[in-house]
Amino acid sequence: MKVVLQRVSKASVTINQKKVADIKQGILVLLGIVNEDTQEDINWLIRKIINLRIFNDEKGVMNLSLKDINGEIIVVSQFTLQASTKKGNRPSYIKAAKPDVAIPLYENFVTSLQKEIITKVQTGEFGADMKVELLNDGPVTIIIDSKNKD
């Protein structure tokens, strides 16, 4: 499981010209899933995401977590995170999990995240054509792969 985390001042997701998610200060999570992912990957990533100290304290030092600031969060499924670009110029998405595997893992990720944080977890829609808007704060963008825990 791979995530791209973006610290945001605000972010939203629109589907068919209808805003389905809208947050202020927090994290936009882009989530890419492979067939080998498990609940263990979900649990590890969630602990990382909610405890990662990427928000500024009163001295302007990144020393606070999402939990510390009671920040908001949007999770967006994004199979393109699992793209392979080793050969040629057209990305291959063969590593990305198919919907029958990815949807339950995506739903478990969201449900598990909701159990861990107080604020409402908002989402896009799995497989939909989404328009994601964000104001990246910093900019702070971090990539985490649950297969690279060591």
Helices 39-51, 99-116: inter-axial angle, 10-degree rounding: 40
The one catalytic residue in 80, 111, 123, 141 is 80
What is the residue type of 136?
Answer: N
CA proximity to 123, closest of 4, 9, 11, 37: 11
Does the active-site annotation cover 80?
A: yes
Cβ atoms 133, 12 nearer than 8 A: yes
Task: Tell whether omega for the bond before 139 is within 30 degrees of 0, i.e. cis.
Answer: yes
- Give the residue numbers annotated as catalytic, written as ranges: 80
